[in-house]
Structure formats: structure tokens, C-alpha cells
Chains A and B, each alone.
Chain A
Amino acid sequence: MGSIFAFFAVIALVLIAFVGVSAGNMQYLFGVVIPYAAMIIFITGFIFRVLKWGSSPVPFCIPTTCGQQKSLPWIKQNKIDNPSTTIGVVVRMALEVLLFRSLFRNLKTQLSEGQRIVYGEAKWLWLAGLAFHWSFLIILVRHLRFFIQKVPVPIQMIEGLDSFLQIGAPLLYITDVVILSAVTYLFLRRVFMPQVRYISLPADYFPLFLILGIAATGVLMRYFFKVNVTGVKELAMGLVSFINPDAKLLEGIGVIFYIHLFLISIFFAYFPFSKLMHMGGVFMSPTRNMVNNSRMKRHINPWNYPVKVHTYDEYEDDFREKMKGAGIPVERE
């Protein structure tokens, strides 16, 4: 079972960090070496993957058109779902990337009694997907407070909004609740929907558990097993300004922080080799990012090559007598 394998893989990662730090005293490895390595793998791996995609051309203009084309002036074009201009494509892509427009279309197709196919709303996947991705982004942005000496006002505002409910102390972040629920939903649908379970690979469960682990350790750290948070910032600031932290600082931060950081490092190092690359890929999908203007403007295929064709002359040679008999004009009598 893919999910069990992935679950234990993440548990193993947690244990590695736990044992490494609490028994092996390898704070430097988990707090400095691995995060740097992960960052380097992430950035170079990501760039390499995108360049690899970029090295394959887009030979044909193949947008998936999801609305009325631009044709006669009195027919209303759907300028977003069937864009004929770059602006249309930009809007289409923005809606796709920011609001998951295509997923919003999702339907549930079911065969009901009397052999009728019925189509129902199916927005949960869209909602959970959107909630998860936006929470993730906000959490990432919030974490910038650990990496910037004087935290800029916009980041402070995001933090303020995220905790505006003023529940408990430290204040509860809404995104913490949302990301945990959304990821849990995304996991449960993989397990309980037979079709989705059937298509799921270990590589689908692993990132879910990894993210669940990251979020859970983060939550535990903030609300339950507190760590020396100014120490964490000192370490983080040291990392981004290439200042080696001293042993005392490293030892003064609780082990749960290192587990959190290790899972994040694994996440980023794993990123370029996995389906997580959909983050970069969504921008490059030719069915979405192209202008549907292929009859207005010739699209060039860089590897277009001459092909062997059956010419008219050959055709006429084959059928000249029959053509003449049928009164069809010919080139050569």
C-alpha cells in the first residue's frame, strides 16, 4: 500500500532528525548543512527541470479552447477561456494559477437508477486544493519574519490578519487550522474514494504526509513544545547571511525545531524530482498558455521538415484517363 509506505517514510525521517539531534548531538548537520544542501538542490533542480521543459519546443498552437472563438464581429467571444490576445492569456493563466479555474469546473458524473448519467457539483477538491495552496503560501510568507531583521509592514499585516481571531496565546493562526484540515481532506479522499485510491502512487501520499508532518511539527512548536524562538531567528538570520552559528546557539533550540527543519529540507530537496514541479509546470502548459490565433497568425514549428507527398502530377498520372472520361480538366492531355 502506497499510503503505508509513505507514512512510514515520513515517520522514519522524523526519527532520523530526532535521534540525530537528541542522541547524536548533530545540530550543526540538521540546522546548517542539510538546510543549505536542500536549498541548493531545490534551486538548481527546479531551474534544471524548467530548462529541460524549455528545451523541447512547442511545435503546434494547441490551446484547449473552453469558450467561443473570435470569429465574426457580432458573435460574442469568450476572451478568457478562448483568448485571442496575450492579455486574454494572462487573465486565463492568472485565474488558473491563483484560483484554479479549471478545477472549479469539476463535475461529479454518476450513473443513477434507470441508466441515467447525472452530473453534480463537485467543488470540494477545488476548495481543499485552493485552501491548502493559499495557506501554504501565507505560511511561507509569514516565515519571512525569521529571515528579515526589520520585518516589513506587509508581512506583519499578513501575520496580523492570519491571527486576527485572537484565540489563545500565542495567537492561533487561521492558516494552521486550514492547512491541517485541507491536507487531511486531500489525504482522506485519496484513501476513501475508490477511483482516486486506485490511481494513487506512494509519490502521491509522501508529499501529503511530509506536509502534514511539517505543519504538525510547526503547530506543536508554536503552541505546545516551545523552543527558543529568538534563537531560531538568530540561526535563520545566520543562515541567510552566511554566518556560522555557534554551538551554544544550536544546542539552545529544542529538538522539535530540528525535526521541523529537517522535514522542510527534505520537502525542498524532493521537490524538483517529483510531481511537486507542477508549481513551475502550470505556467508552461501549452494547452493553457497559448493564444488561440493560429488561423490569424502562423505558428512556427522549429523542427518542421519537408515530407514525402503524393503530388498532383503523380495523381494525374494514375487517373488521367478516368479524369478525362469524367470531364475533369487535366494538366497534360
Chain B
Amino acid sequence: MKLYGGGKIITGLIIFFFLVTFPFFLNIGKVNAKPEPKIDTPEIQKLAEKKCIEPKAFMRAEHMKLLNDWRDFAVRNGQRLYVNSEEKQFTISLQNTCMHCHSNKKKFCDECHNYMAVKPYCWSCHIAPKEKES
């Protein structure tokens, strides 16, 4: 097949090929680290029943929505009491409730957030817990 104006066409196609395949070139042969959020903080170890405020599956999928609701309840409505699906009560507070157990932001929150390049804006108001560099 003879090409006319082949230089430009081939250049264009090479750019096209690179654009659609560059994730392959970036990753091939590299080890992909999976995120492994840790729940081994002293506070969690102490718990008799290692349960979060809602079931694990719900927390995994909906924690962002729950935190967003909590923010609205607490900051906008002054409501500080959360009743979960098992009728148990919790104080609505990121720092005193969530981070009380999950004191390891770096190994818990950031693990997945960094992996997915998600940047929650929790910490633009809240002060991140002080952690020792590990």
C-alpha cells in the first residue's frame, strides 16, 4: 500500500498509538502495589467486637456520603447524635469518633485515597492527627 503524504500520516498515527497505549508502556513489568488499609490501631485492638459504626460493606461504599451527612448534621444543624442501623448511638465527630479508632490516617485513609488519587477535603478544616513517621 503506497501512502501519499506518508510522513505526516505516519507521524499522526504514531502519536495516536502512543496516546492510546501509553498506560501500557508506563506499567509494563512494574509491580503494582495494592492498597492495604490497616485496622490494627491500639484502640481497635482494644475493642471486644471489632465493628465500625455501620457494617463494613456499607462503610466501604458509603463512608464519604456518611461523612458528608455528618458534616451537615453537625456543622449546619448542630445535631451531634447519630443513630445507626442497629439503633446504637454515636457522637457525630470526625476527630472524636472516627479518628478515635482510626488514628492511623496515613495507613488507613490515605492508603486507598492515594491509590485512587482521591483528595477528600476533610483536612482542609480538620486537623489531621499527628502520627509518627513509620
Contact = CB atoms under 8 A, between A and B. Distances in A.
Whether the complex brings A and B within 8 Å at their CB atoms is answered: yes
Interface of A: 39, 42-43, 46-47, 50-52, 54-58, 144-145, 147-149, 151, 155-156, 159-160, 166, 168-170, 226, 228-230, 233-234, 237-238, 240-243, 280, 283-284, 302
A169 B23 contact: no
B131 to A, nearest CB: 21
B20 A42 contact: yes
Given A57-B4, A148-B23, A240-B27, A159 B68 contact: no
A237 B27 contact: yes
A280 B117 CA distance: 31
A42 B20 CA distance: 10
B28 A241 contact: yes
The majority secondary structure among interface residues of chain A is helix
Given A147-B27, A149-B27, A168 B68 contact: yes
Give the interface size bracket for B toward A: 35 or more
**8 A-B pairs with least C-beta separation:** A151-B117, A169-B68, A147-B23, A226-B61, A57-B4, A241-B27, A169-B64, A54-B9
A287 to B, nearest CB: 15
Contacts of B60: 228
Given A55-B2, A55-B4, A43 B30 contact: no
Interface in B27-46: 27-30, 32-35
A241 B30 contact: yes
Given A51-B1, A55-B3, 10 more contacts: A42-B20, A47-B13, A54-B5, A55-B1, A55-B4, A148-B23, A155-B117, A168-B68, A240-B23, A240-B27
Contacts of A47: 13, 16-17
A168 B71 CA distance: 11
Contacts of B26: 147-148, 240
B28 A170 contact: no
A283 B65 contact: no
A240 B24 CA distance: 5
Q: Is the interface of B mostly helix, strand, loop or mixed?
A: helix
A284 B5 CA distance: 10
A50 B12 contact: yes
A233 B23 CA distance: 13
Interface string B66-84: 0110000000000000000
A229 to B, nearest CB: 6
A149 B32 contact: yes
A238 B32 CA distance: 8
A200 B33 CA distance: 48
B13 A50 contact: yes
B121 A166 contact: yes
A159 B120 CA distance: 12
Contacts of A145: 116-117
A79 B35 CA distance: 55
A203 B116 CA distance: 36
Nearest to B117: A151
B23 A144 contact: yes
Given A144-B23, A230-B35, A240-B24, A159 B4 contact: no
Given A43-B17, A51-B9, A56 B4 contact: yes
